[in-house]
């Protein structure tokens, strides 16, 4: 007779972020549906690994981040971990270092990223979405940053990302009230780029990712770099890097291919070089 492990010996389920490539599109799937995709410490580490893999894969032209289970993109940090993972100053520092590192890696990622948002997009989930380049939301999406209801401090860089999108007054309103709001307000404030019926969300996101993936990757990377510098503090702007990236586009095989395709009235086939 096989001996089954006791319930006490079973490893706890803490969620994961799975990643895979579907053609030229990388997919990072937030998978902790029993907790509405609450983000554990290990999931932030998963995200860094996924981005490293996608960065090194030349076939990946665009990355989509989505929640699994149909009820949430990500509902924030897994607070059930806090007693163990954030009970001391050292624990808090380590937790924050890992989560911030993942968000910085996502913000600075060289390839375009899309957040596919349905259901709850709360706290750390909203930070995850705001770190992407584009956000497509289902009409059932709900947003909030409830730090003021939990006594949490919120990192400067995370607040800066929100201020860049909505402006200082709207950012204060979101943080001070800690309230939930829907897609009409999120669209008006510029938090999301598009709102679609929930049944159409996956298809619309896939179409957008495919359209981006067909375009010249060096051009997109240069544009992303220039936009990042445009919103950076003037003293931190690297205009030389921007000029080099733009110049590399004009010296590339893709630029020649784009000209030929235009003359021949066909869709160009870009190779990223």
Q: Is the overall model pTM greater than 0.85, yes or no? A: yes
In order of 31, 214, 259, the CA distances from 26 in angstroms are 16, 14, 28
- pLDDT for 87: 57
- pLDDT for 108: 93
Q: How far apart are CA 135 and CA 189, in angstroms?
A: 13
Domain residue limits, the chain: 13-212, 215-264
- pLDDT for 31: 93
- pLDDT for 246: 94
pLDDT in tens, the chain (273 residues): 333 333 444 444 458 999 999 999 999 999 999 899 999 889 999 999 999 999 999 999 999 999 999 999 999 887 777 666 665 677 677 878 888 899 999 999 999 999 999 999 999 999 999 999 999 999 999 999 998 988 877 888 889 999 999 999 999 999 999 999 999 999 999 999 999 999 999 999 999 999 999 999 999 999 999 999 998 889 999 999 999 999 999 999 988 989 999 998 989 899 988
- Closest to 27 in 3D by CA, of 55, 66, 57, 61: 66
Third-level CATH fold of 13-212: 2-enoyl-CoA Hydratase; Chain A, domain 1 (3.90.226)
Do 145 and 121 form a contact (C-beta atoms < 8 A)? no
């Amino acid at each position: 007779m096989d001996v089954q492990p006791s319930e006490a010996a079973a490893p706890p389920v803490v969620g994961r972020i799975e990643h895979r490539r579907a053609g030229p599109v990388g997919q990072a799937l937030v998978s902790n549906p029993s907790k509405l995709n609450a983000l554990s410490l290990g999931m932030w580490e998963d995200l860094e690994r996924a981005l490293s893999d996608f960065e090194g894969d030349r076939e990946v032209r665009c990355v989509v981040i989505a929640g699994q289970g149909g009820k949430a993109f990500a509902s924030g940090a897994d607070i059930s971990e806090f007693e163990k993972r954030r009970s001391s100053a050292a624990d808090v520092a380590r937790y924050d270092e890992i989560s911030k590192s993942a968000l910085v890696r996502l913000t600075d990622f060289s390839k375009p990223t899309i957040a596919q948002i349905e259901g709850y997009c709360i706290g750390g989930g909203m930070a995850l979405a705001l770190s992407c380049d584009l956000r497509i939301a289902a009409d059932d999406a709900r947003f909030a940053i409830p730090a003021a209801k939990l006594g949490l401090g919120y990192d400067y860089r995370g607040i800066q990302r929100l201020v860049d999108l909505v402006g200082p007054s709207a950012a204060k309103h979101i943080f001070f009230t800690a309230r939930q709001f829907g897609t009409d307000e999120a669209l008006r404030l510029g938090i999301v780029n598009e709102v679609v019926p929930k049944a159409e969300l996956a298809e619309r996101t896939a179409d957008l990712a495919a359209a981006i993936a067909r375009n010249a990757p060096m051009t997109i990377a240069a544009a992303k770099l220039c936009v990042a510098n445009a919103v950076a503090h003037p003293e931190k702007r690297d205009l030389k890097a921007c000029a080099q990236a733009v110049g590399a586009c004009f010296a590339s095989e893709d630029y020649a291919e784009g000209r030929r395709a235009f003359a021949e009235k066909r869709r160009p086939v870009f190779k990223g070089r």
